[in-house]
Structure 1
Amino acid sequence: MIVDDEYMLLRGYRKIIDWAALGLEIKITEQNPLTALLQLQETPIDILISDMNMPELDGPSFVAQAKEIQPEMALIVILGYSDFDYVKAGLKQGAVNYLKKPVDTDELVEALQSAIKHIEKQKNYQQMADLAMQAQTGALLQSTDTQNGKNLMQKLQISRDQNIRLIGILNPKPPMELVAYLQMMTTVKGFFRGSGLYYPFSRKRYTTKAIY
């Protein structure tokens, strides 16, 4: 997603480099940062390229709100002039790189490559965290040691006052409709397949586990 109040620059970004060669696609270009925030609530974005000097909403406020909506996306900041406060705001939001107008083609490619590496690193970290959660949840369900169970509940951020409900569904494969329904329920943590592997839903705190 690219956000810049200058229309001609937005058109130029589509032609300045070969996006497909980088494995990327421009999903959205937007002049108004307020509209961009609404679109971010509806469309998953991996990389956000944003100007930091827009009349409708200042850059620091925009990138802060954008990262609140999609905290995992990589951020590339574009500066029309040297401004420490704007650079500092980008740093606080975890900007991958900074580009100055007019944007240099080679610098843009390098910034995008850095953003891709950043995303891949985050995905690898999340995969490791998911595997750890799988192991901990499986151990919790099978544990007969009270103290060990309490330790595992603490690691999984499950309160002792919360109930752990197990839902058994006798299907060889979980229906996608049911998975989608359970994912909307904030109390459902994830599900197990018949193989015993645990698949967590992407939320931070849960109280319920579903087993298939």
Structure 2
Amino acid sequence: MKLLIADDELLTREGLASSLDWESMGIHQIFQADDGLRALHIAKLQEPDIILSDIRMPRMNGIELVEKLTELLPDTSIIFMSGYSDKEYLKAAIKLKAIDYVEKPLNPEEVQKTVAEAIRRRQQVLRSRQNEDLLSMETESNLALLLTKPYRDHCGEIEALSRELSLRLSPESGFVTYIVKLRTEEPISVLIKGIRENLKGFLKNFHMNSVYIRMHAVHHVFHVFGEGGAPSAAVLSSIDFFFKEQFRPFGLFVMSRGDTVNGIARAYHSYASAVVAIQNSFFFHAGTLLTSEDTGGGYTFAAEGPAGLENDTGSFAEALEAKDQNRCQSFLDGLHQKYYKNYGMLPNQIKDAYYRLFNALNDCRQKWKLSADSAGTDSSESIIEYLENCFTYEELHHTLEERTRLMFQRLELSVPEDNVIFLIKEYIAKHYGSDLLSIKEISDYVHLSASYVCTYFKNQTGQTLNQYLTEYRMEKAMRLLEDARNQIADISAKVGYSNGNYFSKSFKKFTGLTPSKYREKMLG
């Protein structure tokens, strides 16, 4: 808490500042003013929680100071320091509800007791204010949720909540809905609360307001409205820029803006058009803001549909079988041109198509006995997991291009690998995440004894089977650590370690760094 001491006597100010253990009372900052005018200036800048003020001061007395601060800092506690002859001033103070006072000459114990009581009341006010804010935020969220549904079905509830929030909404009120989709599902309520507060302050410049609701973990819905009708193009442009700047620190995001409408009864239309636009956002770069105009007003499904996508898979597989890298790249270039900024497909349709393309790539890799790639797309399960987390089409397409390029690179440099060694490595690639994976399990898979498998693997590769397995798991862990969304405890289990401490020790032995230090180094 902050304390301001206002008194024209230096000895009084310095004596108060040094005679009590303010830190133990919860006062961490102390300011001093030598007259009422200076105290007013400091109070405006620092917003102290408690003001300990003399009544008689040059340029502006204590009563005048409190009168000036009544509206500016209504919750600040005022304690007057007064002499016996200041009774008339104290009567005025009582009328201002500033009834705390200590008599001069000051008794440190009395000052401490009075300030402690003021702190208690101040904390009570803050708790009450926080509860009010939480209730208001909950009411706002309820209203925001109802505005994502047709008005006719919830008009009574919407009007009741609007009155509760003292929102004046009329048929002339302008509405527009923004939806921001984040990649992360992390609990970021504190950061979003800051954005909500910043938005309200920003919208005041345009005599507008907003309500907010978080939906489906990653979608953040803001209904923006004002009494002066639909916002102008210039105002919308300013709000667009505000949202982009506010969400930039969150990493990857896409945005949509619904149609501008007049009247609360049509607010749902703005939301619905924003939903269509955000669904199309998969096909655009991260950071893009889309409107219904950008996306053609909705989905117009491609005539070729899934059949065309199956033909794409066949063409790619044929080029791979022919080991024709130029043909594969030409195919991928055409695919990108065909589906980037595409309004005729749903994201899941494209992901299904790319699932088949990744599988075609892996089929050839296995046929040619090439080592598994490092992108985590070396099995059907890992491909599905990757596709679920893929945020944009650009990211998806780039990964397929990169995997294709690396496979041809390995093909060019590869030396035909012994079939047994290939099968062992392939089995490890598929089962390294199991903490029960053992040499016996691997040897059973290749129909050889455990002792023979160990000797054979060492002779063929120059390293023991356990060394290879540990190295494989550590490399997987390193890549998972480079993605901040993965919790270290989850990574440990994903790479086959049921004991987190043992994983940390093994990781440090392999890399020289603990998992947390490695992540700090990689993420800067």
Q: TM-score, normalised by structure 2?
A: 0.35
Amino acid at match of 2:47: P
CA offsets 1:85-112 (integer angstroms, 9 cap, x no match): 3223322333251111111111111111
Match of 2:17 among 7, 14, 18: 14
Tell me the residue number matched to 1:202: none
Match of 2:108 among 105, 125, 141: 105
Is 1:33–1:57's contact at 8 Å kept on the other side of the alignment? yes
SS at match of 1:95: coil
The 1:112/1:30 distance shift into structure 2, 3 A limit, reads same
Structure 2 unaligned segments of length 5 or more: list them: 147-152, 228-242, 248-524
Amino acid at match of 2:199: L
Match of 1:125 among 125, 128, 136: 128
Tell me the residue number matched to 1:154: 163
Is 2:55–2:81's contact at 8 Å kept on the other side of the alignment? yes
SS at match of 2:81: strand
Structure with greater strand share of residues: 1
CA distance in 2, matches of 1:140, 1:191: 8
CA offsets 1:140-179 (integer angstroms, 9 cap, x no match): 1233421221111111010023445443222345589966
The 1:131/1:177 distance shift into structure 2, 3 A limit, reads closer
Aligned residues: 202
The 1:67/1:25 distance shift into structure 2, 3 A limit, reads farther
Is 2:80–2:101's contact at 8 Å kept on the other side of the alignment? yes
SS at match of 2:28: coil
Alignment of 1:77-88 (within 5 A): 77-88=80-91
SS at match of 1:24: coil
The 1:5/1:126 distance shift into structure 2, 3 A limit, reads same
Structure 1 unaligned segments of length 5 or more: list them: 199-205
CA offsets 1:45-89 (integer angstroms, 9 cap, x no match): 111111111121122111111233211111111112343432233
Amino acid at match of 2:56: N
CA distance in 1, matches of 2:200, 2:94: 33
Match of 2:199 among 177, 182, 192: 182
The 1:34/1:176 distance shift into structure 2, 3 A limit, reads same
Shift of 1:44: 2.3
Is 2:144–2:213's contact at 8 Å kept on the other side of the alignment? no
The 1:91/1:166 distance shift into structure 2, 3 A limit, reads farther
Q: TM-score, normalised by structure 1?
A: 0.80
For the aligned residue pairs, the C-alpha RMSD in angstroms reads: 3.1
The answer on 1:31 being equivalent to 2:43 is no
SS at match of 1:83: helix
CA distance in 1, matches of 2:29, 2:212: 34
Structure with greater helix share of residues: 2
| Bigger-Rg structure (1/2) | 2
SS at match of 1:167: strand
CA offsets 1:5-26 (integer angstroms, 9 cap, x no match): 1111111111221111212134
* Higher relative contact order, structure no. (Cα contacts within 8 Å, ≥ 6 residues apart): 1
